[in-house]
Chain A
Amino acid sequence: MNRRVRGLLRKEFLQVLRDPSSIAIAFLMPAFLLLLFGYGVSMDATDVPLGLVVEQPSAEAESFIGVFRHSRYFSPRRFPDRAAAQQALGAGQVDGVVVLPGDFAARLRGEVGAPIQLIVNGVNANSARLLQGYVEGAWRNWLERELGARARPLGQPVMLQPRIWFNPGLRSRNYLVPGLVAINMTLVGALLTALVMAREWERGTLEAMLVTPVSMREVLIGKVLPYFVLGMGGMALSVAMALWLFLVPLRGSFWVLTACSALYLLVALGMGLLISVTTRNQFVAGMVAIVATFLPAFLLSGMLFDIDSMPAAVQWITHLVAARYFVAILQTLFLAGDVWGVIVPNSLALLAMALLFLGLARRRMHKRLE
């Protein structure tokens, strides 16, 4: 490395050390966000408030109700009648109501069978559907037990036997935490560099640099390398927290993870630099960074919403979101292992984006005044 680059690096490191906000971005922010999310974000409902109405007490009705009392999914509450339960549902005190009608016991022995009514609050469609699934499971268990006791033929000719690979306990943290690591690194990378070039333009220090023998390539190296080191530190911290604090398994190899993270960090830093070089104005660069990084990475990366289910045009747009490739890599590396069929194409996409962003940033850094 030549002396000029060394000088630039030294200057950049000093600048980082003197405004602690860069260090805060690299270490404090990922730790804080991951801590909050790792504990806070979960799809696993427990103790769902469920209203129960038994219009006519009977041994059968009690045995059915009993299923809910012993489940960790529900926190059941009895209501004297349908109206009271529905009022609680409307007021949001319970998420669903199970009603056993007055003739439940009698119709159990009848031809058509007895209806069990379930009303759910559908505002949160996903939770509602999961609740329906849980109640259905409870109903099926009860049926099996009842039918077993009475030795009648089972009501389900075909039985579904689900087997969840990679995450058999359906622990949502296992997929949310890798996704959050990707979001974290998107923010860290872009925030570290979004303002650095714009700042030099604004303060006029870049002009001073123009009269030195430093080439723009060297300036670019001087800008990327220090923040790359900081960003990798932040990444290491995030991974450590994922593994040891949130106990997400790492089934792939550590070195593949390191290599892919380094690649992604280059993309994120490149994006920040490109914003910075294009706007040449810290205020606008900051605005662009807020708008272009967090929400796209959160909603379009596939960490939360299934990309394959989006309309074709939106799927196409997700290809422009770098986090999409990194989320796929991280979820696979953490939960499935070194699956080259996933890692190689996604890494190639990241590589292409890194080259594109850094290349564009380089092209826009002219060594002349406008």
Chain B
Amino acid sequence: MWQRILALVVKEFLNLFKDKQSRFVTIVPPLIQLVVFGYAASFDLNHVPYAVYDRDQGQAGRALMATFSGSPNFQLRHIVQRQDEIADLLDNREVLLVLQLEPRFSEKLAAGEPAQVQVLVDGRNSNTAQIAVNYAGTVIGNFNEQWIARHGLDAPPAHLVSRAWFNPNLESRWFFIPGLVGLLTLVVTMVVTSLSVAREREQGTFDQLLVTPLRPFEILIGKATPGFVVGLAEGSLVILLAQVWFGVPLVGELGVLYLGLVLFLLAAIGIGLAISSLAVTLQQALLGGFLFLVPAVILSGFATPIANMPWAVQMITLLDPLRYFLIVLRGVFLEGTPLSILVHQLWPLALIAGCTLSAAAWLFRHRLY
């Protein structure tokens, strides 16, 4: 029996790697994508382009503006002279925000009256807008502290002291790069598995496979192995790159991470093969692959928190293997979460893997058309 399976596994690998194009597609793009996406996926803003409309022209106003131009987060692009320039700048996306000092700003500040800085923000991407406003708030907060200290004013009676656990500098990249491990592993697994049965069905070779002594369970092993090996290899490479290249700390145990990776791969392979054996043509398999892949990524909590979703959608995410794997990845990478807590993420993965793999094996024989 093992000999039969081995023969099938060899054939599957040949199918995948014999062709130059398909060899290339399974290996090169995920690696390039990790590096590119690793740099792209971050909510941190750098060099926010801004403009200044100083209607005050006083000393204190200029001092405040100097703190902005000195900050690495902001980059001055334009000095506004007339009110009507502002709309153009924001509309055309030349700047993300415009700082507007009110007339008599310096005078009011010196007199101890509240002086106002208006920040006009391009809200087309409301998340970016909110972050930019927060950054501006930080700069102004620092300016206030210095001003209070220098002029011997009363400090506010209570002040906020913030600290962040697990990611002290709140680097957005630390959050996204472990997520990318899951994303890229999922994509490469889907690439390898979701088309494999459908192709044989379309070419008619699957019928031949069914009349061999191979049992569905053995075909399953043969079909699943390439996806598993490729997924495991690329997953490992991505994990390594995350630490070595991007410097994301791996606090927890590697063993727990790999337990998660193996279960996740099995679940993803099960889904990919089930889609593939349900499809009659390659086009249907491709459609099925996307209908799973895209929601699986978007609803996984990769970028937008699951807690923000309505209840019904949250229930749907329970079927998403990536959801569980992301929690494992982030937990192990950043928090050092022990196995005893992550078990609650691992058993659903095992359950999904068991159901989908057996569904795929069953469909091999029962989906004849």
Contacts and interface: CB of A to CB of B under 8 A. Distances in A.
Given A19-B281, A133-B130, A286-B282, A154 B167 contact: no
Given A120-B162, A139-B158, A164-B123, A40 B310 contact: yes
B172 A126 contact: yes
A332 B94 CA distance: 13
A117 B123 contact: no
B153 interface: yes
A175 B283 CA distance: 31
A7 to B, nearest CB: 22
Contacts of A115: 158-161
**Contact residues on B (Cβ < 8 Å of other chain), bracket:** 35 or more
Nearest to B167: A122
A310 B39 contact: yes
B167 A294 contact: no
A156 B140 CA distance: 9
A336 B88 CA distance: 11
A118 B130 contact: no
B125 to A, nearest CB: 5
B61 to A, nearest CB: 10
A161 B118 contact: yes
B122 A166 contact: yes
Contact of B153 (A44, A116, A157): A157
B46 A336 contact: no
Most chain B CB within 10 A, of A21, A113, A187, A342, is at A21
B223 interface: no
Interface stretch (A205-213, A237-245, A299-307, A362-370): A299-307
Given A166-B122, A342-B91, A118 B160 contact: yes
B293 A290 contact: yes
B134 A123 contact: no
A331 B123 contact: no
Contacts of A42: 304, 308-309
Nearest to A198: B282
Please name the 9 residue pairs, one residue from A and one from B, whose CB atoms are nearest each other, closest first.
Answer: A155-B156, A122-B164, A122-B167, A341-B92, A167-B123, A164-B123, A40-B313, A125-B170, A126-B43
Given A40-B304, A309-B42, 12 more contacts: A33-B291, A40-B313, A42-B304, A122-B166, A125-B174, A127-B305, A160-B119, A161-B118, A195-B286, A300-B40, A310-B39, A336-B91
Interface of A: 19, 21-22, 24-25, 29, 32-33, 36-37, 39-48, 64, 89-91, 104, 108-109, 111-130, 132-133, 135-136, 139, 142-143, 146-147, 152-168, 170-172, 174-176, 183, 187, 191, 194-195, 199, 279, 281-284, 286-292, 294-296, 298-300, 302, 304-306, 308-311, 313-314, 317-318, 328, 331-332, 335-337, 339, 341-342
10 contacts: A40-B309, A111-B155, A133-B134, A156-B144, A158-B115, A160-B119, A162-B121, A166-B124, A282-B202, A317-B36
